[in-house]
Amino acid sequence: MTKLLEGKVALVTGAGHGIGRGHALELAKHGAKVVVNDLGTSVHGEGKGKDADAVVDVIRAAGGQAAANYGDVSDETQAEEMVSQAVTDFGKLDILVNNAGIVRDKSIWNMPVADFDLVMNVHVRGTWLTSHFAAQYWKSRYEAEGAPVGGRIINTTSGAGLQGNFGQSNYATAKAAIAGLTQTISLELAKFGVTVNCISPAAATRITASVATWDFTAAEADEIDAETFDPMDPSVSSPVVAWLASDEAGFISGQVIRAVRDKIDWLKPWAPVAELTSGNKRWDAEKLGSQLSRFVFATRAPGLQA
């Protein structure tokens, strides 16, 4: 029986640990050849290493094919090289999973500007750069072959980016930007048969260990089969990524999907909740407050109370 991703080639960034590692192993399990990228830094972006090697070893030991890449996604040359490596090592690139990221958490009044810039650099610039070079590759293939190439990009956002989180004005901003980037480049790459989607996972990882605790109610705890399912395993969202990377998912693009524990939520982008009109008249600032107050409370906008 043919595997879901048989014959596909994937590049997964930030795949030396945690969620990215889970994605790389899941893609390989379903037949993809994987370039495992990881700069080998700490969760704060410090140092360098060859953490990708251990993941490559696991894939190869299971009979799969993989190659390590130690590049920095935020460096233009290195981002281009990791895309090129997939083509050089395995003949092509079909799947790009942008997962690399770091955190430097502080309240906005305490956060050094450098910490904001670095987090934005890794998450936003890094996601854009790899997508940029993958897009150039797929465009050239489309022009040469005259047919849709079926590429897949799966980006990574988070609950912080979608709903905010205290102490993460840099990280949350970056993750929100990635959701917007996903929607935009899904439109730009549709012509080439490339889909672009965004996964919002949650799991116990090196990053979340410093900012999150996981509490389950007694009822929820009773429902968890500890022998077969760890709801906070870093790979819990990886099957969703594997399916989004497959040919079966060619009809879905520009979407944000939240995959947490045993639940998958399809999230809508910013959309009007209700509409207030001036009746083709200029708004009167002195009257606007009372109009908006009655309007907002009447529609019971999320997060607001009468």
Does pLDDT of 142 surpass 50?
yes
| Catalytic-residue membership of 171 | yes
Please determine, for residue 13, whether its predicted confidence score (pLDDT) is greater than 60: yes
At 193 the pLDDT is 98
Residue 230 scores a pLDDT above 60: yes
Burial classification of residue 283, based on how many CB atoms lie within 10 Å of its CB (0-12 exposed, 13-18 middle, 19 or more buried): exposed
- Residue among 8, 29, 33, 175 flagged as catalytic: 175
Q: What is the mean pLDDT of residues 237-252?
A: 96
Catalytic (active site) residue 175: yes
Lowest-confidence range among 101-105, 231-235, 288-292? Answer: 231-235
* Percentage with pLDDT > 90 across the chain: 67
Candidate list 29, 70, 137, 158, residue with the active-site label: 158
**CATH class of segment(s) 9-267:** alpha beta
- Residue 42: what pLDDT? 60
What does the domain layout of the chain look like in residue ranges? Answer: 9-267, 273-306
* pLDDT level of residue 61 (50, 70, 90 thresholds): very high
pLDDT category of residue 287 using cuts at 50, 70 and 90? confident
Q: Which of 70, 142, 171, 186 is catalytic?
A: 171
